Amino acid sequence: MSKTLHLTAFMRPVSLHTGAWRYPGAYADANFNFGHLKSFIQKLERAKFDAFFMADHLAVLNMPVEALKRSHTVTSFEPFTLLSALAAVTDKIGLAATASTTFDEPYHVARRFASLDHISGGRAAWNIVTTSNPDAARNFGLSEHVEHGERYQRAREFFDVVTGLWDSFADDAIIRDQESGIFFDPEKLHVLDHKGEEFSVRGPLNIARPVQGWPVIVQAGQSEPGKQLAAETAELVFAAPRDLATAKALYADIKGRMPAAGRNPAHLKILPAAMIVIGDSVDEAKAKRAHLDSLVHYDSAIASLSIALGHDASGFDPDAPLPDNIPDTNASKSGRAQVLRLAEQEKLTVRQLAQRYGGYAGLALIGTPKTIADEMETWLNEEASDGFTCVFPFLPQGLDDVTEKLVPELQRRGLFRKDYEGSTLREHLGLSRPANRFFPA
Amino acid sequence: MSKTLHLTAFMRPVSLHTGAWRYPGAYADANFNFGHLKSFIQKLERAKFDAFFMADHLAVLNMPVEALKRSHTVTSFEPFTLLSALAAVTDKIGLAATASTTFDEPYHVARRFASLDHISGGRAAWNIVTTSNPDAARNFGLSEHVEHGERYQRAREFFDVVTGLWDSFADDAIIRDQESGIFFDPEKLHVLDHKGEEFSVRGPLNIARPVQGWPVIVQAGQSEPGKQLAAETAELVFAAPRDLATAKALYADIKGRMPAAGRNPAHLKILPAAMIVIGDSVDEAKAKRAHLDSLVHYDSAIASLSIALGHDASGFDPDAPLPDNIPDTNASKSGRAQVLRLAEQEKLTVRQLAQRYGGYAGLALIGTPKTIADEMETWLNEEASDGFTCVFPFLPQGLDDVTEKLVPELQRRGLFRKDYEGSTLREHLGLSRPANRFFPA
Ligand SMILES: Cc1cc2nc3c(=O)[nH]c(=O)nc-3n(C[C@H](O)[C@H](O)[C@H](O)COP(=O)(O)O)c2cc1C
Ligand SMILES: Cc1cc2nc3c(=O)[nH]c(=O)nc-3n(C[C@H](O)[C@H](O)[C@H](O)COP(=O)(O)O)c2cc1C
């Protein structure tokens, strides 16, 4: 069989693009409106998407209040409450949630994902994040953010504890023999008794082994330790390359680390995040994107550009190109290099560049269903990705365009499933069910 | 209008009674079967119950493995995932979840309840627990349990932080003016900046104010500091009196503390937990309870009795009365006094007493719909309670008996609503919506 794509949706209720709530026809109230979220996920399930993923942050995003007041991102649903509610109104689509290894506890995280996996019949996935937003630390009793390397060290041990807790019960531990009165076989219960550098957790978990054995492990870190954690633990990577070349390099890099970690590269799917803007012509699609970007108020836009540059950009001429010789700072070296590259590539004015950063600055696939399907096919064949984490520019229309126009085109080409073959997220992704480390089959 | 009852359901998926999974017709698999939970709550909603409450513990219950292996309580759903899923398949019934102030973080707890309240349209309630199970501490990095007084001190501050975070946004902060591009009014955002003894939490919450202002506050602690916390903060108390006399004393005690705390006693509803066993005759109901208790294996039963006594009871003669002069220990003074009282009152053998403790040892209302309705009416009129937290002996039958036989009897007497009048849990309970402390109306 030739290779096929995996597709997940990377969502905020209103869209990841901060201007989206002002787009004509947009559901500006989706942050509070469960009915909208239900309709989104049900459409994605009808289109046979692998999974639905809700972004999550442990603080209001760090922007000056002048920018913040224009952003729909100040309020959202919490992912476990949202995804559990969505589990009850869907049957097949995977449900991916973020949980922070820096600001949460392994026992809580293990329980919640195990529970979501039981409720959903094996559709849960855990996006392991170390939480990069420094404002989050201040909501959890710290005055300074935990240092990057330590966050990743803690993440690695956190993973070991959580997966160990999921393995507390053997798959066949629960007997439930009403006659003899034995509910479970105590020989098939393992008390973890973890004592490590960061955590000491006795166990066992008070939930039977998840339907999938372990919920699918997701990673979206982009740094060296992020990529290494992915190679050691992840089964799905939400990546953020800017173009085909960087995607190929990232793909080879992460998969190349896997054999040394004792893993088969086929057991990890890498899905770059891509905003998808569809038009009847490429020009129409470009015009939609330009209109969307123009809805980002200049105050918000310039604040975001300043963060990306690590330098206050509010004094620049909005309608001129980015000035040369912006003083260097420590704040964000790789971020700044990206800004300069983008300004150069697309010949953007300060205003356009700022609106790009204030709106959504990641990879975008912009065109007709045919041109986008062509691009996706190229990425798949050139080993730049195993599919995409789709970002919708505005909702519901941007999502409808993908499910009603792009997906049928991909299906016609044999690049995407016409129906689900299995019922768990692992089955959709072609991932095997992990053995229980304490009770090997 | 004459007084009416409030009814909530206090649940474990299979029942709180540990022998229930062996009762004829019981759903022994309800711990894993979301469909069963969905049918339970939908029946309770059709019967117009105020709320559904799921018990929660942060460890496998502390019993010897010989007892544990016979208990369906080793595995369950986690309450946020479960209640959120149930929110999506119900419209009116309240959803109460436990969150521990000892082993969780105010920012997480505030977010999850706010999110559940938004998803459910104003039906969330937070049962503030300090977590009495010492095994829980060992799942969260501690070798010793946090001391009782300190747990309650932390709980009080935890409440202040959580409610302060819920008040981050004024009720009318979110403007969403697509034309001007202003999403919310920054004057109506409060940064909490809490710095206390136990917590330092900056805020603001990244969720708009809950539909109910604050989710309903529930408390179930029984100690002095537990009752004081209830008087200061709670709007609903799950109580555990043994009989009418202790219930009246408790009711007067907690409500009597409220004026000094600046509160109106009408703003707190006290609902004793009661297991309800219904028969066509009182004798039939008693026989059902005796059969249910007999399903608790002696090994489990005696382990539970030993915990309640703070003394190993496995050497006692099962078919004789409880021996005199059981040596005193520090472990559980009030627990032991209760055991002795019960043994005396009902003239139980060690086996029967053990099976009572191993099964469900709390208050039980056992009889016909008429006799139970009579008892409930007495409790209401004598100011022993504002209603009941119903425990079902076995499921589904024990629940069906309540919704199909007892509730109609209560409705006939005008003691219970025939339909919901409002749509939020606060409205069902007759509680007012709290003002925002930072943005008074
Ligand atoms: C597609 C994608 C989705 C992400 N979603 C989240 C999220 O929901 N919550 C979060 O805290 N971080 C999220 N991140 C951020 C990453 O977890 C990570 O913190 C960031 O990429 C910086 O990587 P580093 O910490 O390895 O330097 C996401 C990243 C990508 C690429
Ligand atoms: C009806 C009822 C329900 C309770 N539910 C829970 C629960 O779900 N989780 C929990 O940890 N404790 C629960 N408790 C225990 C109380 O929160 C409290 O810890 C216990 O009554 C001991 O009180 P104290 O700590 O004030 O001494 C419940 C108590 C009662 C009476």
Closest residue by CA, ligand 1 atom 11: A131
Is residue B321 in a domain? no
Tell if the CB–CB gap between B69 and A185 is shorter than 8 Å.
yes
Nearest to B180 by CA among A73, A301, A21: A21
Chain B positions touching A83 (Cβ under 8 A) are: 84
Q: Is A81 helix (H, G, I), strand (E, B) or coil?
A: helix
Distance CA B350, CA B357 (A): 10
Local confidence band at B279 (pLDDT 50, 70, 90 cut-offs): very high
Is residue A353 in a domain? no
Local confidence band at B203 (pLDDT 50, 70, 90 cut-offs): very high
- The answer to whether A386 and A5 have CB atoms below 8 angstroms apart is yes
Among the partner residues B78, B114, B178, nearest to A111 by beta-carbon distance: B78
Q: pLDDT (tens digit, 9 = 90+) per residue, B76-103?
A: 999 999 999 999 999 999 999 999 999 9
What ligand 1 atom has the least distance to the C-alpha of A58?
Answer: 11
pLDDT of residue B330: 59
Tell if the CB–CB gap between B74 and A184 is shorter than 8 Å.
yes
* Distance of residue A313 Cα from the nearest chain B Cα, in angstroms: 21
Is the pLDDT confidence value at B329 over 70? no
What ligand 1 atom has the least distance to the C-alpha of A362?
Answer: 31
pLDDT of residue B273: 98
* Distance of residue B375 Cα from the nearest chain A Cα, in angstroms: 34
Is residue A310 in a domain? no
pLDDT of residue B247: 97
Structure tokens belonging to residue B139: 């799942």
Among the partner residues B58, B116, B207, nearest to A75 by beta-carbon distance: B207
pLDDT of residue A324: 87
Pocket mutation for ligand 2, best pick of B222, B270, B390 (most atoms within 8 Å of C-beta): B222
Q: pLDDT (tens digit, 9 = 90+) per residue, B107-116?
A: 999 999 999 9
Is residue B11 in a domain? yes
Q: pLDDT (tens digit, 9 = 90+) per residue, B344-370?
A: 888 999 999 999 999 999 999 999 999
Chain A positions touching B200 (Cβ under 8 A) are: 138, 141, 143
The DSSP line for A386-424 is SEEEEE-SSTTHHHHHIIIIIHHHHHHTTSS-SS-SSSS
AA letter at A272: P
- The answer to whether B71 and A108 have CB atoms below 8 angstroms apart is no
| Residue in chain A lying closest to B122 (CA) | A32
Distance CA B352, CA A138 (A): 54
Structure tokens belonging to residue B260: 């000094």
Is residue B440 in a domain? no
Tell if the CB–CB gap between A181 and B103 is shorter than 8 Å.
no
B87-90: long-range contacts, CB 8 A cutoff, minimum separation 24: B87/A85, B87/B116, B87/B119, B87/B120, B87/B123, B88/A34, B88/A38, B88/A85, B88/A86, B88/A88, B88/A89, B88/B119, B89/A88, B89/A89, B89/B38, B89/B41, B89/B42, B90/B41, B90/B42, B90/B45, B90/B120
Q: Is B276 helix (H, G, I), strand (E, B) or coil?
A: strand
Chain A positions touching B57 (Cβ under 8 A) are: 206
Is the pLDDT confidence value at B64 over 80? no
Other C-beta atoms within 10 Å of B186: how many?
Answer: 14
Tell if the CB–CB gap between B58 and A85 is shorter than 8 Å.
no
Ligand 2 center to B134 CA (angstroms): 13
Local confidence band at B133 (pLDDT 50, 70, 90 cut-offs): confident
pLDDT of residue B397: 98
Is residue B92 in a domain? yes
Local confidence band at B332 (pLDDT 50, 70, 90 cut-offs): low
Ligand 2 center to A327 CA (angstroms): 59
| Positions of chain A with pLDDT lower than 50, given as ranges | 1
* E strand or H helix at A42: helix A34-46
Residue A332 Cβ contacting ligand 1 at under 6 Å = no
Among the partner residues B77, B104, B186, nearest to A65 by beta-carbon distance: B186
**Structure pTM?**
0.96
pLDDT of residue A333: 66
Ligand 1 center to A220 CA (angstroms): 5
Distance CA B203, CA B196 (A): 14
Residue B238 Cβ contacting ligand 2 at under 6 Å = yes
pLDDT of residue A197: 96
For chain A, report the end-to-end CA distance as a whole number of angstroms.
Answer: 30
Local confidence band at B66 (pLDDT 50, 70, 90 cut-offs): confident
Is residue B208 in a domain? yes
pLDDT of residue A441: 81
Chain B positions touching A22 (Cβ under 8 A) are: 178, 181
Nearest to A52 by CA among A17, A19, A82: A82
* DSSP code at position B425: H
pLDDT of residue B331: 54
* E strand or H helix at A67: helix A65-68
The predicted complex's ipTM stands at 0.96
pLDDT of residue B132: 84
Instruction: Count structural domains, chain A.
Output: 1
- The domain in which residue A85 lies consists of 6-277+364-429
Give the Å distances, CA to CA, from A84 to A111, A217, A400, B345: 13, 18, 23, 46
Q: Is B334 helix (H, G, I), strand (E, B) or coil?
A: helix
Chain A positions touching B114 (Cβ under 8 A) are: 78
CATH number for position A76: 3.20.20.30
pLDDT of residue B9: 98
Is residue A328 in a domain? no
